[in-house]
Structure 1
Amino acid sequence: MNRVEKSKEKYKQLFGGTAPAVYATDPDFQDILNGFIFGEVFYQGDLDDKQRELITLVVLTTNQTMPQLKAHIQAALNIGITPVEIKEAVYQCAPYLGFPKTLNAINEINEVFEDKNIALPLESQSQTEDNTRFDHGLAVQMKIFGDTISTMRETAPSNQVHIQDYLSSFCFGDVYTRGGLDLTTRELLTFCILSALGGADSQVKAHVQGNVNVGNDKDTLIAAITHCLPYIGFPRTLNALAAINEVIPEA
């Protein structure tokens, strides 16, 4: 298939046969968009469509582009991503975007789910209690980052230790330990969230190494940031690619 044929097939798979409304006003732009995203980017690298749509969901959440997010929630359901997986991908954004932006995305999800008669709330995916969230979160941190975490905690000034505690208990205890998505997927999504966010270069670099530590290789990271490109643009994509190349030099 050529690029145009690929884009038509992929778009139909994700969204059905309905043409975007923008075709009525900006057909040239929509052709550029469809050809690049659905005819080229979707076929670059070895990610499957489930991984690609989960990445798209978190990047659109980061961007706070809600109309496009709603369309991709529907697309995610169309290709067999479960309601739990959709929710967990967006919950993963909270430590990096904050609660208000994450709640904006959750509201969009809930509207789509209600239209589809998907009963809410979904089954809880929580895996911790108040007395275990710190220990479980710290264990996940150590698995992702190794001894770096011990150094960070030991060298934190006394008036900033609480931030390290929050990282362990909230980010990694409350969120990373949840069911619905495995650790490898959560860490890949985090890399994409931070890359899309911009201004978080040191965290992007840290999570490149974190991805390697949990089993995502360089090709996977390049495929993931390539998939982000149409949604975040070249500058942030190139910044993330530079972090990948610094942490994992070419052989």
Structure 2
Amino acid sequence: MSDVPEQDHAAASFAQGLALIQQLGGVERPAVLDLFESIGEGAFGEQCVGFIYGDVYHRPGLPLPDRQLATVAALIALGYAGSQLQFHAKAALNVGCTRRQLVETAIQISSFAGFPATLNALGELKTVFATLPAEQPPTGAAADVPWAGIEDRYERGLAAMKAVDGDAGEKVARALEDIAPDLARYIVEFTFGEIYTRPHLTLRLREIVTIAACVALGTATPQLKVHLHATLNVGGTEKEIVETILHLAFYCGFPAALNAIAAAREVFAQR
């Protein structure tokens, strides 16, 4: 049990949370505090800032930029939090993420949350980018990837799916052959052949944001398990997965996080 009095701990957490939310939002006075005060719940607002931004955001195991991309992905999948999406998109930029990573996150989510969610998110991102100075286009050499040089989209998709999912992806595709073989082909060609092979997001980050989307959706437990395996396949760790899910409890709700943790426990046991 901590020797720090509860009141002192709360004050320290709030101070730490306030400093972080100022960094994320780029303003001295976070609007969320004014919102809570306007309805007579200023104390609860301070508790939220202290707990979420003062404690949870400072947990080890998941870098701050990754937390912000996971938050953005979850908000895209939820589909009803445009103002919060704008805030966290700006926050992601303020902690070192790039505009291209934000756009790629929205595109990655299209196969999981649907194109309307992605289109709405791109509209929110466009609004954010319009308020900022122009950004230099990204540069850098192409990554050494298993699908490099494969022109055929289906074969390229198979190579990407194998790198990410191992045998699990092929099992999903085979399971669809008797009822919707074209859907299996679309998954291979589009999701893996076109989206997963795009630059600017590592496979590990693609899986982190995909986990976030699946947690937010709350109805995709089988797919969540596949992508928990995939995260480990591409270099993610169990700690990063747990921290991602725990982080999302405050954006998607505790029931969604509890269900995702149960899925993670099952996947870790299988590994």
Q: Report the TM-score, using the length of structure 1 for normalisation.
A: 0.90
Q: How far apart, in 2, do the equivalents of 1:120 and 1:101 lie? A: 27
1:76 aligns with 2:92: yes
Which amino acid is the alignment partner of residue 115 of structure 1? T
Residues 128 and 90 of structure 1: is their aligned pair in 2 closer, same or farther, counting only changes over 3 Å? Answer: farther
SS in structure 2 of the partner of residue 215 of structure 1: coil
1:6 aligns with 2:2: no
Aligned residues: 249
Deviation at 1:152?
A: 3.6
Q: Which residue is equivalent to 2:232? A: 212
Residues 22 and 30 in structure 2, CA contact (< 8 A), matched pair in contact too: no
- 1:190 pairs, out of 210, 220, 237, with 210
Q: How far apart, in 1, do the equivalents of 2:233 and 2:149 lie? A: 27
Q: Which range is displaced more, 151-160 or 4-13? A: 151-160
- 2:263 pairs, out of 233, 238, 243, with 243
Deviation at 1:93?
A: 0.8
Q: Report the TM-score, using the length of structure 2 for normalisation.
A: 0.84
Q: Which residue is equivalent to 1:200? A: 220
Q: Which protein shows a greater Rg?
A: 2
Higher relative contact order (CA 8 A, sep 6+): 1
Which amino acid is the alignment partner of residue 22 of structure 2? K
Deviation at 1:80?
A: 2.2
SS in structure 1 of the partner of residue 231 of structure 2: helix
Deviations 1:123-161 (A, max 9, x none): 9x9x99995322222111111222233334444334411
Q: How far apart, in 2, do the equivalents of 1:4 and 1:29 lie? A: 11
- 1:67 pairs, out of 57, 77, 83, with 83
Deviation at 1:119?
A: 6.7
Deviations 1:79-112 (A, max 9, x none): 2211111111111110011111111010010011
- 2:180 pairs, out of 151, 160, 164, with 160
Note the 1:28-67 alignment, pairs <5 A.
28-64=43-79, 65-67=81-83
Residues 14 and 47 in structure 2, CA contact (< 8 A), matched pair in contact too: no
1:22 aligns with 2:42: no
Residue segments in structure 2 that go unaligned for 5+ positions in a row: 1-8
Residues 50 and 76 in structure 1, CA contact (< 8 A), matched pair in contact too: yes
Deviation at 1:181?
A: 0.6
Q: How far apart, in 2, do the equivalents of 1:152 and 1:250 lie? A: 18
Residues 29 and 142 of structure 1: is their aligned pair in 2 closer, same or farther, counting only changes over 3 Å? Answer: same
Q: Which range is displaced more, 210-219 or 153-162? A: 153-162
- 2:120 pairs, out of 89, 100, 104, with 104
Which amino acid is the alignment partner of residue 61 of structure 1? I
Deviation at 1:62?
A: 1.1
Residues 132 and 43 of structure 1: is their aligned pair in 2 closer, same or farther, counting only changes over 3 Å? Answer: same
SS in structure 2 of the partner of residue 157 of structure 1: coil
CA-atom RMSD in angstroms? 2.6
Residue segments in structure 1 that go unaligned for 5+ positions in a row: none
Deviation at 1:214?
A: 1.1
The percent of aligned pairs where both chains have the same amino acid is 31
Deviation at 1:187?
A: 1.0
Q: How far apart, in 2, do the equivalents of 1:149 and 1:4 lie? A: 44
Which amino acid is the alignment partner of residue 88 of structure 2? H
1:116 aligns with 2:136: no
Residues 153 and 197 of structure 1: is their aligned pair in 2 closer, same or farther, counting only changes over 3 Å? Answer: closer
